[in-house]
Amino acid sequence: MFRRNARRARPTTINRRAILRVERLEYRATPASLTPAQVRHAYGFDQIVFNAGGQSIVGDGRNQTIAIIDAYHNPTAASDADVFDRSYSINGGSLSLYSQYGPASQWLTVATPQGMPQANTGWSQEIALDIEWAHAIAPGAHILLVEARSSSLNDLLGAVDYARRIPTVAAVSMSWGSTEFRTQSSYDGYFSTPAGHTGVAFFGASGDDGAPGIWPAASANVIAVGGSTLQVSGAGNYVGETAWSSGGGGVSKYVGLPNYQAGTMNGTARGIPDVAYNANPNTGFVVYSGGRWLTFGGTSAGAPQWAALMAIADQGRAMNGGAALDGRTALSMIYNLPTSDFHDVISGNNGYSTHVGYDLVTGRGTPVANRVVNDLAGFGNATSAARPAGDSAKTGAETTGGTLWWFRFSFSPPFFGVNAIAQTQPVEQSLNTARVSSAATFAGQPTIILLTQPVASSARSSEAVYVRPVAQSYGNGVARLDWSDSDEKDEELDLDRIYSNIE
């Protein structure tokens, strides 16, 4: 068992010879810290608005559930959150979080599936940080706090297993971890979406002791969140970032290079973190816990806020007719997002050095949240597109017929060309990958893109769809195609319908 406090937790040997070292909570006892309005503005959360069906809807994570996994019991979690919410607004205006979203009793559920745990001051502070800041970033989301009976590996993973099976949970935050151990990959199933459940993404703090990083952030199924030092102006404008020297990162001892990092990293091992967030306690987050105001830092502050970002993205995906993202799909998308979606942190080190692009200190960087969310949600840069003048109303297609598919286009610079990649997702089936067979170009822009999509073995081995681009730049836009049941080549596609369904 472990005691967690604001300093350093002591490691203890547990089952399977694993060493679980719970991350200490960095703090300084002063209220001079970043507020929700400052952080939201600096990272662009206050700019997230979804436009669909003629309506503009604020991206606040509504209809999504964020699960927070912590150990022991915080008896004042709800009342502390109410004090926090009465004290701050999310946009710097006169309306407080409390006045906009109500008391914690309306958006917070506390679960103790292993029985009521004992109270623990250090863990109570972690719980307050996780709840208050996940709520500040995604105030419309429901928060499920799952309190494990203790900080043992079995109890914490049991809490993760409980959370991932709750039907509405879309993101799970884990602000704790251990040094890596040889059998860690045998626990990867805990960080996966249960059968029959909508997608669940898992977020883990990468550690607060510099390199190397920690597990479960090192799991190939977990989105690892590293640390930065964020500078903002008094108005909350983004000024810049450097790496936090204590942020965890490095190369895993036991996890091989996952597919989503191929082409990003050299070598054969998983690199962490994947992304980063403000973590330095000297630029930390104001938290109300146990009757006093404190400032907290650490990568344990970034994990719940990235989970909140995912809840907002899943809100947008639901509006777009899509399903919540599971962790591996989210990781693949994160590594394929454009560089403009991130603040690339290129100064500082944690034992490894930062540099342009992905590094083992801050991963891809910290979020430009409005861009990351829009691209994960499928809104991207192609929120509207006009049909090109003089375009033909016919093109060829050979289909197995009758299925509605979504085609996501992500083109390599210069916008279009033979290096284009694409993915297809059947509305009622799992994600599949399509490949671009050819892309004919005209004046630097392709006129035809040929996609091939594998189908069931009982059907033909492939089907082809020919699509003419409908805009000069897609970004990560989504086009929806519909065609009739036919085995005939030269099937007529209704391009008017295609253009009208650009999302």
Check if the beta carbon of residue 129 is closer than 8 Å to that of residue 296.
Answer: yes
Indicate the pLDDT class of residue 157, thresholds 50, 70 and 90: very high
What is the model's pLDDT at position 340? 93
pLDDT at 136 over 80: yes
Q: How many other CB atoms are found less than 10 A from the CB of residue 63?
A: 14
Position 83, amino acid: V
For 79-128, the pLDDT digits (tens) are 999 999 999 999 877 799 999 999 999 999 999 999 999 999 999 999 99
**Full-model pTM:** 0.74
For the chain, domains (ranges, CATH) are: 12-377 (3.40.50.200), 397-500 (no CATH)
Pick left, alpha or beta for residue 470 (phi over 0 → left; psi -120 to 50 → alpha; otherwise beta): alpha
pLDDT at 344 over 90: yes
Check if the beta carbon of residue 217 is closer than 8 Å to that of residue 224.
Answer: yes
Q: Is 207 exposed, middle or buried (0-12, 13-18, 19+ CB in 10 A)?
A: buried
What is the model's pLDDT at position 4? 36
Q: Which long-range contacts (CB under 8 A, 24 or more apart) does 437-443 make?
A: 437/464, 441/416, 441/417
What is the model's pLDDT at position 31? 47
Closest CA to 389 of 470, 449, 494: 470
pLDDT at 449 over 50: no
What is the model's pLDDT at position 211? 95
Strand partners, 51: 56
pLDDT at 437 over 50: no
Indicate the pLDDT class of residue 387, thresholds 50, 70 and 90: very low
| Alpha helices by DSSP H, 88-187 | 97-101, 121-137, 153-164
Rounded mean pLDDT, 361-367: 98
Q: How many other CB atoms are found less than 10 A from the CB of residue 294?
A: 23
Mean pLDDT of the chain: 76
- Report how far apart the first and last C-alpha atoms of the chain are (Å, whole number): 51
Check if the beta carbon of residue 39 is closer than 8 Å to that of residue 366.
Answer: no
φ, ψ (nearest 5 deg) of residue 126: -60, -45
Closest CA to 421 of 336, 340, 364: 336
Closest CA to 172 of 196, 141, 200, 149: 200
Closest CA to 43 of 342, 381, 243: 342
For 212-235, the pLDDT digits (tens) are 999 999 999 999 999 999 999 988
Backbone CA torsion sign across 468, 471, 472, 473: negative
Indicate the pLDDT class of residue 239, thresholds 50, 70 and 90: very high
What is the model's pLDDT at position 30? 52
Check if the beta carbon of residue 179 is closer than 8 Å to that of residue 19.
Answer: yes
Q: Which long-range contacts (CB under 8 A, 24 or more apart) does 409-414 make?
A: 409/449, 409/469, 409/474, 409/476, 409/477, 409/478, 409/479, 410/336, 410/474, 410/476, 411/474, 414/444
